[in-house]
Amino acid sequence: MGAVARLRRRLGERVFWTLFTVVNLTLFFVGWELFARSGVVSSLFLPEPTRMWTALVDEFSRGDLWGHLGYSARNFAIGVLLAIVIGVPLGLAAGSNRLFYRLLSPYIWGMSSVPRIAWLPLLILIFGFSEMSKLILIFISAVFPMIINGLAGVKTVDRTLLTAGKVFGAKWRHRYVMIVLPHALPYIVSGFKQGMTRALAAVVVSEMFGGSQGIGFVIVMAGQRFNVALLYALLVFIVLAALVIVAVVDRLERRLAPWRTQVAI
Amino acid sequence: MAGAWRRAPWLFSVANVGTFLLLWQWLASAGVLSDLFFPAPTAVFAELWEGFSTGFLWVHIGSSFQNFTIGLGLSCLIAIPLGLVMGANRYVDALVSPYVWALASMPSVALVPLLVLMLGFTDAAKISLIVLSAVFPIMINCMAGVKTVDKSLLTAGQVFGAKKRQLYSRVVLPSAAPFVISGVNQGMSQALIGLVVAEMFATRQGLGYLMVRAQESFNAPLLYGVLILLVVISLTFVEIMRRLEARVAPWQTLDGI
């Protein structure tokens, strides 16, 4: 430990931990490669990273993977946008108006507590294996985190700020724009983050059930054809996509609400 | 009138949901809603009643419940100690966290084809999916719980001569406890998703399988019935956890949200 601690002091915290992660990941993948090559575990279950890479490059160069990704990305975007447009105003309204909240809350809590995926059989029953059932599943998955976070954002506004605003003669509209919305903003953004990760899961699962397009479909096909290298590669690909989404929203969060680093919901 | 609502807020909710169901019943029996897609609530409850009285629902609920508890239990056993250590030790954190974050951000649903390939249509495949769904939220919350301990409390403890072990049990753990609970809470809802997905894809038993079968045989009342069961089950879990949280960390409750 002494040598490591000395190295840490000499390099400085940032460089040291970046280096640490790089070495960590490199060792992980090299170890994986060697372990897979040794043949202890059947290559059917554990492909080498190099084989995963070639499988992915193969699939891209044959051209159909781009189409599937585009299809998934489009469904994701439509579902998430609809969820934002409908969910955020609904959440804000439910947070501001007590009666509206009481009216809506049993359905919000009921709907959001069901595992989202469980809606899929019902949607397939009603809409068939169509794009509509996929989009609605994505929408349902994404909309409740947005509603609930919008709601929480409004409900947790500091009362004294509102009273102060009133005392100083701010109109309702002004209080809303100057006090409530800035407070609710970080909550809304964290709702985006939850909603988007859930939407991603919904995209994948809706394509795994029926249909012949999208990354979920490619994953199922890879599994059925025992193309494990491609299967692993696609999983890694999905991880990267999810990390990019989270990173983008994180950046948005830091820009919109630099005074709070974390929202406790 | 308004006073009555305020004194018994649940009365409002009962009236609210009751009106909704009555309206639905009326629209369904008037033939406005197609009973293939939106069966009347009475038909749904009749289906549920029949399922419970013939006992076939119990079999599926039992199977789901068993896999769920085993999966969630395993997740807690793995995730809580590891998460706490990750929060306490910078090196362990840096070593493990790239993988934890990567897997946590992956929709665990995508793992189904791989698990089926490796383990077949077994309970092991289902439990693995549940664990893979639940373990990371729990771990991350435990880690956050240890990391956000108020430093001045630790310093105060040290100044007053507390040993490392005492600092852990008296300062770190109590302050991490609400995070652990909220991690288990999140893990639970993820586990429920993992359970339903696994059953939808890979079995002949459980509530997820029942829904797929109901969909394939156009049995809409059963489908709605199972959805209602899932709502009741998950709300029960949420309530249990809320009680637990109120007991473990009474200062943490977020009332009115």
On chain A, the residues whose CB falls within 8 A of the CB of B95 are 20, 24
Domain ranges of chain A: 47-259
Q: Radius of gyration (Cα) for chain B, nearest Å?
A: 23
Q: Could you give the CA distance from residue B99 to residue A63 in angstroms, rounded to a whole number?
A: 30
Tell me the average pLDDT of chain B. 85
Nearest to B61 by CA among B221, B240, B230: B230
Chain A nearest CA to B254, separation (Å): 9
Residue B86 has phi, psi (to 5 degrees) of -60, -40
The mean pLDDT of B211-219, rounded to a whole number, is: 87
Per-residue pLDDT tens over the stretch A98-139: 888 888 888 888 888 788 888 888 888 888 888 899 999 999
Longest dimension (CA), chain B: 76
Size of interface A-B (CB pairs under 8 A): 139
Taking only the tens of pLDDT, chain A with its 265 residues reads 578 888 888 888 888 888 888 888 899 989 989 988 887 877 778 888 888 899 888 888 887 888 999 999 999 999 999 999 999 999 999 888 888 888 888 888 888 878 888 888 888 888 888 889 999 999 999 999 999 999 888 888 878 888 888 888 878 788 888 888 888 888 888 889 889 988 998 999 899 887 788 999 999 888 888 888 999 999 988 888 888 888 888 888 777 766 554 443 3
Name the CA dihedral angle for B185, A90, A116, A119, rounded to a multiple of 10 degrees: 150
Query: Which of B231, B232, B251 to probe the A interface (max A CBs under 10 A)?
Result: B231
Q: What pTM was computed for the model?
A: 0.84
Of the given ranges (A82-86, A109-113, B39-43, B95-99), which has the lowest mean pLDDT?
A109-113
Most confident of B5-9, B157-161, B253-257: B157-161
Question: Which of B17, B105, B215 lies closest to A121 in CB terms?
Answer: B215
Q: Could you give the CA distance from residue B173 to residue B177 in angstroms, rounded to a whole number?
A: 6
CATH architecture of A47-259: Orthogonal Bundle (1.10)
On chain B, the residues whose CB falls within 8 A of the CB of A156 are 257
Instruction: Report DSSP state, residue A193.
Output: H
Cα A193 to its chain centre, rounded Å, is 6
The mean pLDDT of B63-75, rounded to a whole number, is: 93
On chain B, the residues whose CB falls within 8 A of the CB of A107 are 20
The SS3 assignment for B89 reads coil
| Interface predicted TM-score (ipTM) of this complex, two decimals | 0.80
* End-to-end CA, chain A: 38
Chain B nearest CA to A265, separation (Å): 9
The mean pLDDT of B10-28, rounded to a whole number, is: 86
Per-residue pLDDT tens over the stretch B107-149: 888 888 888 888 888 889 999 999 999 999 999 999 988 888 8
The mean pLDDT of B11-35, rounded to a whole number, is: 84
- Residue B28 in contact with residue B39, Cβ under 8 Å? yes
What pLDDT is attached to residue B2? 53
| A152:B257 CB<8 A | yes
| Domains of chain B and CATH, by start | 51-252 (1.10.3720.10)
The nearest alpha carbon in chain A to B21 belongs to A107
Of the given ranges (A155-159, B53-57, B71-75, B144-148), which has the lowest mean pLDDT?
A155-159
Chain B nearest CA to A31, separation (Å): 14
Chain B nearest CA to A5, separation (Å): 11
Cα B169 to its chain centre, rounded Å, is 28
On chain A, the residues whose CB falls within 8 A of the CB of B110 are 201, 204, 216, 219, 234-235, 238
The band of B191, judged by pLDDT with boundaries at 50, 70 and 90, is: very high
